[in-house]
Amino acid sequence: QHLKSLEYLDLSDNLMVEEYLRNAACEQAWPLVQTLILRQNRLKSLEKTGEVLLTLKNLTNLDISKNSYLSMPETCQWPEKLKYLNLSNTRIHSVTRCIPWTLEILDISNNNLDSFSLTLPQLKELYISRNKLKTLPDASFLPTLQTMRISRNAINTFSKEQLDSFQRLTTLEAGGNNFICSCEFLSFTQEQQALAQILIDWPDNYVCDSPFYVRGQRVQDTHLPASECHRAALVSAVCCVLFLLILLTGVLCHRFHGLWYMKMMWAWLQAKRKPRKAPQRDLCYDAFVSYSERDSHWVENLMVQELEHFDPPFKLCLHKRDFIPGKWIIDNIIDSIEKSHKTIFVLSENFVKSEWCKYELDFSHFRLFDENNDAVILILLEPIEKKAIPQRFCKLRKIMNTRTYLEWPTDETQQEGFWFNLRAAI
């Protein structure tokens, strides 16, 4: 009754509870009060606090910080002219529509908030430092915001798009957060010269928390290696180089028959695991005959007749007749050569064009040198110029240079001598 002209009242650091406040702020007790400070009392209910203060029609500034509210109800009632509200250090962990939409300044710092998604269309200043926020609030909830202090939260980054969404923002304090100094974040902070005019605590309070090797450095002074910032381009370049290398390797393999040699090396390694030489009792054939399919008429109608029908007969191994069906052809070649006393090569232009003849020649060459014996017999069915022999038949060139061979005579009178020499060689 005696405080009719009172405009500013400070009741901080007392033992005030809602019931005492109700008695003190009764109807017409403080009709002109505009600023009321109730900091660090024993207030516990925001809903009751708002109801008690409804009698203060001119109240615009309210400080109820450092009270133990803990939680916030969904709705509250407040004086209609309230513009400033201080809820800092009240241990609340979420915000609701209990906060009046008429506010222009809200201080909700030093609480346990992990998000802020409240629409306050008239809010100009937001103080929300020392909470647990991971991102900046959505600008669509705060269309008139001019000042935001959000330091010492759990924010690890923000972007140009986020800042631009606050169309009226002129002051931002966001230091003391755990910034991830990614390439995008560093590029944004270093290229935006106007950023220093908005960030009032730039650059000293903006420190990298990760990556580990830049932890503790100021964001402004941090520079990541090019390999970190241009990883996509680097991966693309490496992929292109690998593709070109693979392409080049493929071309070279095709040109110089590299696939031949890889196949042969694998098959040879498999063959090397087997016994070096089959015991004499395991030999099934007198000779394995390697020939081109196009020369099969000569082999099957002449050679077989002259050797297998001779007395005593010679047992020949022919791939068309004696290879085991379903078995890998290279294994058939290896086993047939190893189980044969000799290997006969029927050389012709067709022979050097045959892929499988090349395998047979290579395996017999391995055997010739590994076992140091005289296992190879060469029959020259037709004249072959050494220059015409493909490069992949290098072993054939070597054998022809170091070993004698039998030439098939076109003169019938000399053919009997040819068969005699062949039987003797076997």
Q: Which two tokens stand for residue 81?
A: 């002219």
Can you tell me the mean pLDDT for 158-177? 91
Q: Does domain 8-229 have CATH number 3.40.50.150?
A: no
Give the rounded percent of residues in the chain with a pLDDT score beyond 70. Answer: 83
Tell me if the bond preceding 225 is cis, omega within 30° of 0: no
| Model confidence pLDDT, tens digit, residues 75-128 | 999 999 999 999 999 999 999 999 999 999 999 999 999 999 999 999 999 999
| Model confidence pLDDT, tens digit, residues 194-242 | 677 888 888 888 999 888 888 889 988 888 887 777 777 778 888 899 9
Reduced to 3 states (helix: H, G, I; strand: E, B; else coil), residue 331 is helix
| Model confidence pLDDT, tens digit, residues 282-315 | 788 999 998 888 888 999 999 999 999 988 899 9
Nearest to 371 by CA among 391, 351, 401, 343: 343
The set of long-range contacts for 98-106, using a CB threshold of 8 Å and a minimum separation of 24, is: 98/46, 98/47, 98/50, 98/72, 98/73, 98/74, 99/72, 100/76, 102/78
Q: State how far the Cα of 103 lies from the Cα of 60, in Å rounded to an integer.
A: 9
The CA distances from residue 121 to 139, 141, 171, in Å, are: 10, 7, 18
Domain ranges for the chain: 8-229, 231-267, 274-425
Beta-carbon count within 10 A of 343 CB:
25
Q: H-type helices in 294-345, by residue range?
A: 296-298, 304-308, 319-322, 329-338
- The model's pTM: 0.58
pLDDT category of residue 368 using cuts at 50, 70 and 90: low
Instruction: Write down the pLDDT at residue 27.
Output: 78
Contact 56, 35 (CB under 8 A): no
Helix/strand/coil percent split, the chain, to 5: 40, 15, 45
CATH of domain 274-425: 3.40.50.10140
Q: State how far the Cα of 182 lies from the Cα of 76, in Å rounded to an integer.
A: 43
Instruction: Write down the pLDDT at residue 372.
Output: 45
Instruction: Write down the pLDDT at residue 270.
Output: 62
Instruction: Write down the pLDDT at residue 274.
Output: 58
- With a cut of 80, say whether residue 175 has pLDDT above it: yes
Taking CA 367 as the corner, what is the angle to CA 358 and CA 260, rounded to the nearest 5 degrees?
30
- With a cut of 90, say whether residue 366 has pLDDT above it: no
| Model confidence pLDDT, tens digit, residues 378-416 | 898 888 776 666 666 666 667 676 677 898 998 888 889
Instruction: Write down the pLDDT at residue 320.
Output: 86
